[in-house]
Structure 1
Amino acid sequence: MVLDKGSRCAQACVIIFTLFFWLTGFVLLFLGIWMLVDPKRNYLLDLVNFSEDEPLLKFAAYSCLAAGSITLVIGFLGCCGALKGVRCMLGTFVLFLLFLFLAELTIGVLALIFKDKVFDLFADALADRKSTNSSA
């Protein structure tokens, strides 16, 4: 298959984008593994006011591992589809990107709708944090 200059440029752009996409997948995997394995994470837990046995911390670590794995698979589909010119792989890649965009859009809309609850939650947590630090 002979590609003209525009097609080669589009192919290179998709490959570069999927490489950055892969990089974020590896970062998420590294972050998840680090949160599960690092024995000296107490300094990090003090910043976010978690205890060592907090179930939310393990949930966040496993979520990072799952999101990183899914990101790597999606990036693989896009990169192989761009290199080989397989329309099915590229279509699947675009479908997954559309799904991710809609999920992020939904999270943003929900954050706007419930922003008062989120600000109250953070204000209460900050007030509790200040009262424990000032009494110590």
Structure 2
Amino acid sequence: IPMGVLSCMKYLMFIFNVLVFAGGTCLVGVGVWVAVDPAGFQDIMAAKPVLSMGAYLLLAVGIALSLLGFLGCCGALRRSRTLLLV
């Protein structure tokens, strides 16, 4: 495989993982917002009480995505196969 293609793949992997990290961070932000200020979501929570656990689910998924995105960025920059496989 030519070196230019590998370099392009490295940067594409980095950009993809930055997007995953950003998405996870947004989910964490929304999860914290819903957990701290449930008044804005009172109508939704009153209709379906199960949705109150949604804030914690958003937090958990967001933290997992942020961690995976961060490890992917580190793996792409260092060309670490182990970090990319995580």
For normalisation by structure 1, the TM-score amounts to 0.56
1:63 aligns with 2:57: yes
Tell me what 2:30 maps to.
31
- Please list, as runs of the form range in 1=range in 2, the aligned pairs for 1:1-136 lying within 5 A after superposition: 4-38=3-37, 40-41=39-40, 44-46=41-43, 48=44, 50-51=45-46, 55-92=49-86
Distance in 1 (CA, whole Å) between partners of 2:85 and 2:36 is 37
Distance in 1 (CA, whole Å) between partners of 2:49 and 2:57 is 12
Distance in 1 (CA, whole Å) between partners of 2:21 and 2:39 is 28
Distance in 2 (CA, whole Å) between partners of 1:39 and 1:12 is 40
SS at match of 2:46: coil
Distance in 2 (CA, whole Å) between partners of 1:88 and 1:39 is 40
Residue ranges of structure 1 left out of the alignment (5+ in a row): 93-136
| Matched positions, count | 85
The one-letter code of the counterpart of 1:65 is L
Cα RMSD, aligned residues only: 2.0
**Per-residue deviation, 1:55:** 4.4
Distance in 2 (CA, whole Å) between partners of 1:21 and 1:39 is 26
Larger radius of gyration: 1
**Per-residue deviation, 1:51:** 1.9
The one-letter code of the counterpart of 1:77 is L
Answer 1 or 2: which has greater helix percent.
2
Distance in 2 (CA, whole Å) between partners of 1:13 and 1:87 is 15
Distance in 1 (CA, whole Å) between partners of 2:39 and 2:53 is 19
**Per-residue deviation, 1:57:** 3.2
Distance in 1 (CA, whole Å) between partners of 2:69 and 2:18 is 7
